[in-house]
Structure 1
Amino acid sequence: MQQITAGIDAGGSLIKIVYQEKGRMHFKKFSINKLDSAISWLKTVAPSLKVSLAGGKAMAIQNKYFQDSILIPEFQATCDGARFLLAKENISIEENYLIVNIGTGTSWHVVNGDKAERILGSGMGGGTFTGLGSLLTQVQDYQLLTILAEEGNKGKVDMLVKDIYETAASPINGELTAANFAKGKKLNHTEADRLASLSNMIAETIVLLTSQAAAIHHVKSVVIIGTSIIGNPSLKRGLEFYLNMLGLSTVFLEKGEYCGAIGAYLSV
C-alpha cells in the first residue's frame, strides 16, 4: 500500500489538511469542532499516512491520533507555505515583504530571503467578525454574516469624514472613517449596516498595524493569507483599498488559507 504524506494545520477555529496523491495536491478543511470526523475522513481516503502537524492544537492531535507524526512550529509552517504558493503562482517579490495571516486573530511576519520572523500579533481577525457579528445581529453562521456585511452600508453606522465637514471642503477623502460605530445610537441602520461597519473596522485596524510594520521594516509588499478573507469580499475589498491607498502592493494568494498545512506537508 502506497504511503501518503499529509500536512495538518489545526488552529483555533479550523483544521486544514493538505495531502498529495498521484501527483495532485488535495485540500480539505473542517470546523475544529468536527476534529474526530476530519481525522476519520483522512484515514479513510489515506489508510497509510505519514503526517506532519502545525498549529495550536497540533500536540493534542499528535497525542490522540498520530503519535509518530512530526510537529512543525506554526509560524515556520505558515511562511514556508506562503513561499511555496508564491512560487507556484509565479509571483516574484524581489525585496523583503510582509506576510499577514488573518485567521481567528492576525499575525504579521517579515520575510527576508530564506529568513522569516513573526513581528506582531493582534486579537482582531475572523474570530472578531464572527463573535462580535453574532452579538450585533441574530446571525451565527460565518458565511451568512459575510453576505450581510456585503449588503450593508457602513456609513449608516460609522461617522465618516464627510459627516464632520458637511459642506466644507475635506482635507482628506470624505468616505474615510472618522469614528467607528459613532452613529450606533441612531435607529436607522440594519443588521447588514452594522456588519459592514464591523468588517470595515477590522480591515482598518489590520491595515493600520500593517502600515506601521511596513514602515519599521522598510517593505512595500504585503502578502495576505488566512481563512478570514475566504468568501468575505467586504473584508478583502477593504484591505485592498486601504493598503493600496497607503502605497503598499497587495498579494492575495490562491489557497492562502492552507499555508500552514502546506508548510507542514513540505516538512515531511
Structure 2
Amino acid sequence: MTNYARERADRLAAGKTIILQAGAIALDYFKRYQALAVHSKGIGDLFSEADTSVESFIRTAIAEQFPQDGQMGEEHGASAGNSVYQWIIDPIDGTSCFLFGLPTWCVVIALLEDGVPVVGLTYDACQDQLYWASLGEGAYRNESKITVQTSAAIAGGLTAIGGSNSLYSVRVGAIIERLLAANGSYMRNGSTALTLAHVAAGHYIGYFQPLLNAWDCLAGLILVSEAGGVTNDFMVETGLKAKGDVFAAAPQVAAELAGIVGRVS
C-alpha cells in the first residue's frame, strides 16, 4: 500500500466514525426541530444552531486527528492546511426539510486529495444508512455494495430534478416539461446529497440541478461514479468557490437525460 493509499484509508475510516457521531447530534436536534431558532442567509437559505453545531463538531474532530489538513464547510468557511488533503463539509444538507420536520436530510463529508475528490460520505441519520465511496473501490450503503439502476429507461424510471433559485425558474420549468413529455417521472426530496446517494443505490435513474455549491455535491458525485453512473466533473467545470450544475445518471439514460436538461454540446 502506498503512502497516499494508506493516508486515504485512514481518513476514510476516521470520516466514517466522525459522520456517524455528527449524525447522532443532528438527529437529536431534528427530534426537537420545532423549538430551534431559524435564521436566514438569504431567500430560501435557512439555517439553525443545528447546522453550526454539527459542523463545529465535525471540524474539531477532523482537526484533532488530521491537524495538517484543510477544511471547507457551508457554515464556517475555509481553513487552510499544509497537506494534500482538504475536507468538504455540509453539516445538514436539506436544511429546509430538516427545519420543517421532513426526514429527507443528511450529513455530508467529502475528501479531496490534491484537489481531486477521493472519498464521499453521506449519512442518512433518520434511516441509519451510511453511503460511502472511495476512489477505485466502489460505492456502499453501510457494508453492502450498491450500483446504479442499469435497466430502467427515462420512461418508467424516476428522475430527480432540483431547483430552488428564482434565477433558474424558467430553465428548471422547461426541463421538467421535457422530462414529462418523454414520459419520465419527476421527483424531488430537497437534499442534493441524499438524492445523489439514491441515484448511486439505483432508486433514481438520474438527477440534475443548477446553481449548487461544492459541499452539496462532491460526496454524492463520487458515490454515483463509483456505483457505475455517469456524472459531470464539478471540480473542472465549477471548482470549490463557485456554484454550478450537478448532473448524474445511470449509463443507459445519460445521453437522453443530458439532452433533456440541456447539457448536450
TM-score, length basis structure 2:
0.30
Larger Rg belongs to: 1
Higher percent of residues as strand: 2
TM-score (norm 1): 0.29
More helix by percentage = 1
